[in-house]
């Protein structure tokens, strides 16, 4: 089975490398492959600028940022503690379910 999976992975990588085509960015806006065309009026700026109405209430000033972002070590510690918590939850649910099955409550 492992040889089959490795062979399939090798086949996918080689087919992707040899059958793919290089993408090129188009610099003109005359049209697209499906027939969508762009005119100069579509790309022109609007004649009147958007008017933003004044706020009826005074704006609340933004509070100053307090502290700093956690360091990478703090983020990794948080991730590890989260994974430990999930694993303990899964173990607790498994033991509870197994106890119910053994006692015949289900």
Vertex 12 angle, CA 10 and 13, to 5°:
65
Q: Which of 63, 19, 42 is nearest to 11 (CA)?
A: 19
- Per domain, the residue ranges of the chain are 74-105
Chain segment 86-95, per-residue pLDDT in tens: 999 999 999 9
Whether the Cβ atoms of residue 92 and residue 84 lie closer than 8 Å to each other: no
Chain segment 15-27, per-residue pLDDT in tens: 877 776 666 655 5
Q: What is the pTM of this model?
A: 0.35
């Amino acid at each position: 089975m492992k040889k089959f999976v490795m062979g399939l992975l090798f086949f996918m990588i080689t087919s992707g490398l040899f059958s793919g085509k290089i993408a090129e960015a188009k610099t003109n806006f005359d049209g697209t492959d499906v027939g969508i065309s762009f005119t100069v009026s579509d790309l022109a700026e609007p004649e009147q600028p958007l008017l933003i109405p004044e706020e009826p209430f005074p704006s609340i000033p933004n509070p100053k940022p307090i502290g700093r972002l956690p360091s990478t070590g703090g983020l990794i510690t948080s991730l590890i503690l989260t994974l430990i918590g999930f694993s303990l939850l899964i173990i607790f649910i498994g033991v509870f379910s197994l106890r119910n099955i053994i006692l015949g409550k289900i």
